[in-house]
Amino acid sequence: MGSMTIGAKYKTTIKDPGTPGILRMNDERFTFTPNDPRSAMKFNVDFRTIKGHKFNKVEGNKAALLNLSKEDKAGGYIFEFDNVGNRDLSRDFVARVLGKHQGIVPPRPTVTPENSVASAALEQLSAAEVERRVKLLREDSELQKLHKKFVLGNILQESEFWATRKNLLEDEANKRSKQRPGFKNALVDIKPTTDGRTNKVTFQITPEMIHQIFAEKPAVRRAYLDFVPKKMSETRFWEKYCRAEYLVRTKNTAAATAEAAGDEELAIFLKNDDILAKEAKMKIKRVDPTLDMEADTGDDYIHLPDHGIHRDGNKETVDADSELARRTLSQDLNRHAAVVLEGRSLGNVESTDPKTLAEALVRSKKEPPSTSIVDDANHERLVKVARMTEIEDLQAPRSLPYAPLCIKDPKEYFDSQQANALRSLGGSNDGRKARTCSLSTEEAFHHLMDQMSSIKVNKLNCPIIQSDMALKVLNELNEGISRSRRLNLKNPQEGLLGQLPQHTRDELMDHWTAIQELLRHFWSSYPITSAVLYNKVQRVKEAMTQIYQKLQLIKESAQPDVRHEISRLVKPMTQALDAAFNHDVEQQQKSSKAGNRHNGF
Amino acid sequence: MTSAHSKLYSDDVSLVVVVVDTNPFFWAAAAAALPFADFFAHLIHFVNSILLLNHLNRVVVIAAGVSSCAYILDSSDVSPSGGVGISDTFDRASRKAEEFIAQDARATAGNGSVASANAASLLSGALSLALCYIQRIFRSGTRHPQPRILCLQGSPDGPEQYVAVMNSIFSAQRSMVPIDSCIVGTQDSAFLQQASYITGGVYFKPQELNGVSAIRRLSTWDMFVQFVCQYSARIRRSVQPAGQNSVVSCLI
Cβ contact B108–A445 (<8 Å): yes
What phi, psi does A515 have (nearest 5°)?
-60, -45
Cβ contact A428:B210 at 8 Å: yes
Say what the ipTM of the complex is. 0.75
Residue B82 confidence (pLDDT): 56
Residue B203: name the closest of B252, B147, B250 by CA. Answer: B250
How does DSSP classify residue B213?
A: -
Residue A448 confidence (pLDDT): 87
Checking if the pLDDT of A535 tops 80, the result is yes
> What gap in Å lies between CA B20 and CA B153, rounded to an integer?
7
Q: At what angle do helices A531-556 and A502-524 cross, to 10 degrees?
A: 160
What's the average model confidence in pLDDT over A538-554?
A: 87
Which of A410, A454, A586 is facing B37, going by the closest CB pair? A454
Cβ contact B115–A440 (<8 Å): yes
Checking if the pLDDT of A433 tops 60, the result is no
What phi, psi does A338 have (nearest 5°)?
-60, -40
Cβ contact B35–A462 (<8 Å): no
Stated as kind and residue range, the H or E segment containing B72 is: strand B69-74
For the ranges A103-112, A183-192, B170-179, the lowest mean pLDDT is seen at A103-112
Mean pLDDT over the full length of chain A: 71
Cβ contact A440–B30 (<8 Å): no
Distances (CA, A) of A446 to A439, A449, A500, A531, B123: 10, 5, 70, 64, 22
What's the average model confidence in pLDDT over A51-67?
A: 71
Confidence of residue A111 (pLDDT cuts 50, 70, 90): very low
Which amino acid is located at A461 in the chain?
N
Q: Number of A:B CB contacts under 8 A?
A: 137
Residue A120 confidence (pLDDT): 37
SS3 of A430-486: CCCCCCCCCCCHHHHHHHHHHHHHHHHHHCCCCCCCCHHHHHHHHHHHHHHHHHHHH
Cβ contact B126:B133 at 8 Å: no
> What gap in Å lies between CA B120 and CA B28, rounded to an integer?
14
Cβ contact A430–B37 (<8 Å): no
Residue A65: name the closest of A55, A53, A77, A51 by CA. Answer: A55
Cβ contact A434–B186 (<8 Å): yes
Residues of B within 8 A of A412 (CB-CB) are: 246
How does DSSP classify residue B208?
A: P
C-alpha dihedral sign at A437, A440, A441, A444: negative
Cβ contact B28–A422 (<8 Å): no
Checking if the pLDDT of A539 tops 80, the result is yes
Checking if the pLDDT of A45 tops 70, the result is yes
Strand locations in B154-220 (E): 179-183, 203-204
Checking if the pLDDT of B76 tops 90, the result is no
Residues of A within 8 A of B44 (CB-CB) are: 460
Residue A190 confidence (pLDDT): 66
Mean pLDDT over the full length of chain B: 76
Our CA-based measurement puts residue B69 at a distance from the nearest CA of chain A, in whole angstroms, of 15
Cβ contact A452–B156 (<8 Å): no
Checking if the pLDDT of A140 tops 90, the result is no
Cβ contact B186–A454 (<8 Å): no
> What gap in Å lies between CA A308 and CA A314, rounded to an integer?
10
How does DSSP classify residue A152?
A: T
Residue A334: name the closest of A290, A371, A304 by CA. Answer: A304
Instruction: Please give the residue that has the higher pLDDT: either B151 or A320.
Output: B151
What phi, psi does A52 have (nearest 5°)?
-160, 165
Beta bridge partners of A24: A5, A31
Cβ contact A445–B104 (<8 Å): yes
Which amino acid is located at B231 in the chain?
Y
> What gap in Å lies between CA B136 and CA B139, rounded to an integer?
5
Residue A194 confidence (pLDDT): 72
Please, which residues have CB within 8 angstroms of residue A296's CB and are 6 or more apart in sequence? A284, A287, A289
Our CA-based measurement puts residue A481 at a distance from the nearest CA of chain B, in whole angstroms, of 19
Residue A548: name the closest of A585, A521, A526, A581 by CA. Answer: A581
Beta bridge partners of A202: A193
Residues of A within 8 A of B115 (CB-CB) are: 440-441
What's the average model confidence in pLDDT over A116-142?
A: 65
Please, which residues have CB within 8 angstroms of residue A13's CB and are 6 or more apart in sequence? A78
Helices (H) and strands (E) in chain A, counts: 20, 9
Residue A300 confidence (pLDDT): 56
Most distant CA atoms of chain A, gap in Å = 129
pLDDT tens for B3-26 read 344 345 556 788 889 999 998 888
Instruction: Please give the residue that has the higher pLDDT: either A497 or B163.
Output: B163
Residues of B within 8 A of A414 (CB-CB) are: 188, 190, 193-194, 246, 248
For testing contact with chain A, the best of B20, B23, B25, B210 (most A CBs within 10 A): B25
How does DSSP classify residue A534?
A: H
> What gap in Å lies between CA A6 and CA B39, rounded to an integer?
85
Interface of A to B at Cβ within 8 Å reads 410, 412-415, 417-418, 421-422, 425-428, 430, 432-445, 447-449, 451-456, 458-460, 462, 464-465, 586
What's the average model confidence in pLDDT over B32-61?
A: 82
